[in-house]
C-alpha cells in the first residue's frame, strides 16, 4: 500500500546551516518528507542566494535574487528570518528548537554559544533534541576555530593529490573536483548521522550531539586510495583518468570522439578482446589477470589506443554494450538531461516558484516503493514563511510587527 507522506513526515528539522554542507543535509531530509525550517539573516539571507550569476529569471525574464547555487540545496524548506544577535531572535530559536527533533548548524566553533544557542543550551529546552554541528575541522583539534571551504579541504584532505594528470603530461598538476564534493559528502554523512541518532532516540528516548568535520569526511572518502597507501607505504599519485587498481579503465580516443572504458573484471576484459578480435590478449601473461594488467597498463594502453582509433564512437559503444563491457560517451551537463535513462528516471522536475515561473530541480535519487517521494516546494524566498512560522509559535500580528521593528526578524 502506498502513501503520499514521506518516510520522515513526522520529523521536524531546524536548519541553521548556511552555504552548502548543512543545507544539503537539510534538503535530503526535506526530500524525505521532514518539515525543515531554514533560519536566515534578515535582509541578507544565506550567502548562496547571491552566488551568481546565473540567477533564476522571473516571468518577465529579469534576474531574481535566487542564484542557481542557492536553488540547488534548499527545496522543500520554509524560510524565516531571525537575528541571532537580538534577545528576541534568540527566544524564537529556542521556541523552534523546543518543537524540533533535529537542529543542523554550521557556525564557527563557539559562535552559537555566545548567543545561548549551542547544543548544551538548546538541549535544556528540549532534552530529546538531536543537535548536529558541521564545521571545517570539528569541535576539537588545533584548527577547530578556523573557517574552511570545500576547495581548501579538497587540497588538505589529499583529494587534489590524486586528481588530475601527472605533472609531466599536458595539463598536468593537481585539480579539484568539478563539483563541491566535500560539501556534498559532508551533507550526506550529516544526514546519515542525524537519522542514526533519531533511530537510537526511538529506542532510548535520549537525544544526542553530533560533530561532523569536513576534513574528517574527506579523509574518510579517500577510501581505496587511503588503503592503497596504508597497506603498501607508497604514496598514491595523480594518474589522470586511469584507475589505480582496476584496468583497463580510462578515456580512449575513437576516430570521431572520446569514450570511457570501464573493465571491472577478467570476464569483461575477455569480452573486450573479442570485440577487438584480439583473443590472444586473454592468454598473454602480461594481461591475463587484473593484477597483471595494472602492472603492465603502459603496454596494454598502447595496444588499446590503437584499437580504439580504428572505430567510430557510436559503433564501438554499441558493440561493447552488446558484449556487456561498460563504456560510454563523456556527456556535458546538457547531454546528461537529454540522456534517455535520466529522462526515464525523471531526474529533472519543475516546481512552481513565487516569482511566477517554474523553477528546475534535480530530483532526489531515492526511490521508495511504498512511500514515493513527492516533488517538494521550490526553494523559498528570503523570509517567505516568517509570519506563518511565528503565528504557529503563538505570536500575534502585533507581536510580529514589534519583532520586525526591533530588527529581530
As beta bridge partners, residue 165 has: 172
For residue 72, give the nearest of 51, 97, 42, 41 by alpha carbon.
51
CA distance 152 to 20: 14
Q: Is 38 exposed, middle or buried (0-12, 13-18, 19+ CB in 10 A)?
A: buried
* Cα–Cα distance measured from residue 208 to residue 203, given in angstroms and rounded to the nearest whole number: 13
Residues 283 and 280: their CA atoms lie apart, in Å, by 5
Among residues 204, 205, 207, 181, which one has the least CA distance to residue 193? Answer: 207
10 Å Cβ neighbour count for 182? 28
Q: What is the gyration radius of the CA atoms in the chain, in angstroms?
A: 25
Contact 183, 213 (CB under 8 A): no
Q: How far is CA 383 from CA 27, 50, 132, 199, 387, in A?
A: 17, 15, 23, 32, 8
Question: Cell triple for residue 388?
Answer: 506563518
Contact present, 166 and 172 (Cβ < 8 Å) = yes
Assess whether 183 carries a catalytic annotation. yes
- Cell numbers linked to 136: 571545517
Residue 135 contacts residue 106 (beta carbons within 8 Å): yes
Torsion angle in degrees (nearest 10) through CA of 80, 46, 148, 188: 70
Instruction: Provide the grid cell at 286.
Output: 602480461
Interatomic CA distance for residues 288 and 148, integer angstroms: 46
How far is CA 294 from its chain centroid?
A: 31
110 SS3 class: coil
Q: Tell me which of 15, 31, 183, 208 is the catalytic residue.
A: 183
Among 153, 307, 167, which Cα is nearest to 240's?
Answer: 167
Catalytic residues: 183
Amino acid at each position: 500500500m502506498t502513501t503520499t507522506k514521506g518516510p520522515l513526515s513526522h520529523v521536524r528539522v531546524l536548519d541553521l546551516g548556511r552555504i552548502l554542507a548543512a543545507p544539503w543535509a537539510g534538503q535530503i531530509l526535506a526530500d524525505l518528507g521532514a518539515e525543515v525550517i531554514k533560519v536566515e539573516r534578515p535582509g541578507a539571507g544565506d550567502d548562496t542566494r547571491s552566488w551568481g550569476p546565473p540567477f533564476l529569471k522571473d516571468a518577465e525574464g529579469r534576474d531574481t535574487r535566487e542564484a542557481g547555487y542557492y536553488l540547488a540545496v534548499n527545496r522543500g524548506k520554509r524560510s524565516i528570518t531571525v537575528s541571532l544577535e537580538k534577545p528576541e531572535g534568540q527566544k524564537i530559536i529556542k521556541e523552534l528548537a523546543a518543537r524540533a527533533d533535529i537542529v543542523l548548524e554550521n557556525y564557527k566553533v563557539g559562535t552559537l554559544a555566545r548567543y545561548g544557542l549551542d547544543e548544551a543550551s538548546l538541549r535544556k529546552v528540549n532534552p530529546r533534541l538531536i543537535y548536529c554541528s558541521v564545521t571545517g575541522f570539528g569541535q576539537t583539534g588545533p584548527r577547530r576555530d578556523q573557517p574552511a571551504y570545500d576547495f581548501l579541504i579538497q587540497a588538505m584532505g589529499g583529494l587534489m593529490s590524486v586528481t588530475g594528470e601527472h605533472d609531466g603530461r599536458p595539463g598536468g598538476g593537481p585539480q579539484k573536483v568539478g563539483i563541491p564534493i566535500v560539501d556534498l559528502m559532508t551533507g550526506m554523512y550529516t544526514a546519515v548521522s542525524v537519522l542514526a541518532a533519531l533511530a537510537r532516540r526511538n529506542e532510548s528516548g535520549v537525544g544526542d550531539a553530533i560533530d561532523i568535520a569536513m576534513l574528517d569526511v574527506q579523509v574518510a572518502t579517500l577510501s581505496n586510495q587511503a588503503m592503497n597507501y596504508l597497506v603498501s607505504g607508497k604514496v598514491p599519485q595523480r594518474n589522470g583518468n586511469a584507475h589505480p587498481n582496476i584496468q583497463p579503465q580510462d578515456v580512449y580516443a575513437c576516430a570521431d570522439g572520446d569514450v570511457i572504458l570501464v573493465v571491472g573484471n577478467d570476464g569483461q576484459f575477455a569480452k573486450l578482446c573479442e570485440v577487438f578480435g584480439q583473443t590472444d590478449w586473454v592468454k598473454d601473461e602480461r594481461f591475463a589477470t587484473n593484477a597483471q594488467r595494472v602492472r603492465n597498463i603502459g603496454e596494454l594502453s598502447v595496444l588499446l589506443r590503437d584499437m580504439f582509433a580504428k572505430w567510430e564512437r557510436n559503433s564501438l559503444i554499441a558493440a561493447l554494450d552488446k558484449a556487456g563491457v561498460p563504456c560510454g560517451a563523456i556527456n556535458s551537463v546538457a547531454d546528461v538531461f537529454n540522456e534517455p535513462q535520466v529522462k526515464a528516471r525523471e531526474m529533472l522536475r519543475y516546481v512552481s516558484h513565487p516569482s511566477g515561473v517554474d523553477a528546475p530541480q534535480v530530483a532526489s535519487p531515492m526511490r521508495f516503493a511504498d512511500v514515493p517521494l513527492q516533488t517538494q516546494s521550490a526553494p523559498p524566498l528570503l523570509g517567505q514563511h516568517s509570519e506563518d512560522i511565528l503565528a504557529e509559535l503563538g505570536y500575534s500580528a502585533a507581536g510580529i510587527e514589534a519583532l520586525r521593528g526591533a530588527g529581530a526578524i
